[in-house]
Structure 1
Amino acid sequence: MATDAPARETYEQLSVGRGGRLERLVPIALVLGVVLTVIDVVWTFTLAPLVQGAQLSEPVVIAGTQVTTKLLLSQKIFYLHVPVAVASFAIMLFAAIWAVRFLMTKSRRFDLYSKTSMEVTLVFIVATMISGDLWTRFEWGVWWTWEPRLTTYFILMLLVIGYFILRNALDDPERRARFSAVFCIVAFVDAPISFMITRLVPSSIHPVVFRTDSGLPPMMLIPFLLGLFGMLLIAFALTRLALRINVDAQEVEDLKERLEEQDAWKTRAAADAALERLRADASNLTAAAPTSDGSASSVRAAAASDVAGAGGPASDGSVDSLAASTRDASAHPSDLQTPSGAAAAASSHSHDSQEA
């Protein structure tokens, strides 16, 4: 039965898959993804034909400017721009899945998985926006236009940024994990909208790419698919590497918390021991000091005996003086604990004896 607070897993539980078969595939996936992407780029600029039907058939107005330019070399950014965008959608899908799993189980590792996926998603979204803006600028002559696909994807980027702002604004781990999971799921709703918007609202800038008839000749389709699979492999590898870093960082934070708790416990134990010693010293001091009339009387008798033994008459004045000094010492036992107090008491006793 799930509890309200996120479960506190150990380092090994957070590191599910570390050293396993999936973890060993990470470097292979990264290298293969880079190789496929390099082949895609080389094929794009050497073998892929220029456009073939992707140019404007008639003038259109973009950002208030009439554009008649045909897509030539700048269109080749399509072979990287689209795979990066698709990879961002795929990673965000997994982030939403992990968020749902966290809400169901309250397991901290699912919150960590979701957060890591959102970090990689933001990287791919920013790369998509940069490549898309470069395409728009060099082909249409403008940096931005409020076209449906651009607008919905821009909103998606703002939502992902807002996700991290929310996480940093909350200090309580339980509330941070729960609110972030809900926000991640809500943000993901915009992803399929942005992906399908070109079918709902046809756009001259973003044609429909994924359809039954691809609309691309083999010499254009092959490099596009190579780039798509390569980018997905890179996204997978980056997510696993980022997860490893986040797990290690979480373990460091847990160790810091445990050390702080141990230091606080040791400090509290030392303070308690010091307090007990102070109480014991106070009890011993109180027991050693004469505090009753009987004690004063015994002191008077002892003083009279001492004076008589010294060869002088035991006058009532000398004895009373010594008894009074004894009562003062009883009222202020701390004075007896210092060398000056003890010396003063001895001096007073000697002076009274001489006078007697």
Structure 2
Amino acid sequence: MLYKIQNIENQIFNIKSLKELKKILVELNCLFQNQNFKELEQVNKKQIGKRINTLKQNIQIKLEALNHLKHHIKYENEKIKKQAEHDFTKPGKQYSLGTRHPISIINNQIIFLFNKIGFELCQGPEIEDDWHNFTALNFPFSHPARDMHDTFFIKKSKKILRTHTSSIQIRFLENNIPPIRIISPGRVYRNEKISSSSHCVFHQIEGLYISKNVSFKDLKKTINYFIKNLFSKNTIYRFRPSYFPFTEPSAEVDILDNTSAEQKKWIEILGCGMVHPKVLRNVNINPEIYSGFAFGVGIERMTLIKYNIPDIRIFFDNDIRFLKQFK
């Protein structure tokens, strides 16, 4: 028995695993149950029992130390693993970022250009009433010009989806006095057949300038500034007489398309004119004192020209292959 105890004491110092230590602890407990231990004289039994208990205490201390070391190693390994996962020296993850829609790009460019020359941004509702969308703009109820602005009507209501952002101008004029210089961007609706060049939903920016002694010359200078800055200083354009109920005289502006060397053609980009006296009277502004001009730009049309896109319908397809080309 003493030989076994001595052997266990020698093994303790070389043990490096919990499994081996627990095995020795079981062997010590078995010594107490050994028949030889029970047959020992009382004096010897007391000395050997004390020696075994001391040995068990040493083993228990060693066991706790190894347990602590095990948990420490596990903690350090987890710490290293976490540091590896959050290694700020490693290349970052790449995320696919979206791009601005081409209509938004052109819309923002136009707003920026007119902000530079003092035009204030003004917005209004897309669901309108007849007064602000038609009547106040010199579209009498039976006027044939309303056919050009056939729109969508709200059931069981006198409300409509606006056909142009001129309705925003009327709302602004009703609550403000000249001088007035505003642009009104937004989505508009017309009951038109969807094709490569037209859609029932599109976007406009309309401008309005009301003050004393405003002339057609002021309108031409503003349009010249807009075209030369949005396209290029070499862009060739022309004013062509036209008709709009809310302006008199009225004109449409075309630019010369030089993309094809074989066939040059004029492309309409906007409508404009001097604000009709009846429109000013409808908003309680005296046309004998004040005058002004207005213009309207189709954003889709400008975007088609700017980026040489052949079909307006592609703007509404949400095709990632198309949209990711724009920054």
* TM-score > 0.5, shorter chain as reference: no
Q: Relative contact order (C-alpha < 8 Å, sep 6+): which is higher?
A: 1
If the length of structure 2 is used for normalisation, what is the TM-score? 0.29
